[in-house]
Amino acid sequence: MSGIEADHITMVAVLSAFSHSGLVDEGQMIAKMINVYRINPRIEHFSCMVDLFGNAGLLRKAVQIITVMPYRPSHAMLATLVSASRIYGNTTIMDWVTKMLEVRPED
């Protein structure tokens, strides 16, 4: 409304704010980024989505983001998912991430 156009950095800030505020419904805006703002999502945006879903305990949705995004997941993104999986007691997803990282489960 102010005439200032959003860019990819603005979207990272917005997604991060939704994640830290627990606003899951509002934070699901990858499609809106593409269709309304004409911004192609970068890995940073997908990372915010993994954080958003992980914080809310929606671990399967976080996994879905990782598996459908057109980027290889970063170690930080996977660490976020491991942390959320540990908090919510989901050892299946922790094992899946561990295999992706090719480390021993006890690590």
- pTM equals 0.88
Q: Token digits for 10? A: 């603005």
In the chain, where the domains are located: 8-101
- Per-residue confidence in pLDDT tens, the chain, 107 aa: 788 888 999 999 999 999 999 999 999 989 899 999 999 999 999 999 999 999 999 999 999 999 999 999 998 999 999 999 999 999 999 989 888 877 555 55
In degrees and rounded to multiples of 5, residue 7 shows phi and psi of: -130, -175
- Write the secondary structure of 88-104 as one string of H (helix), E (strand) and C (coil): CCCHHHHHHHHHHHCCC
Q: Do 50 and 81 meet the contact criterion of CB atoms below 8 Å apart?
A: yes
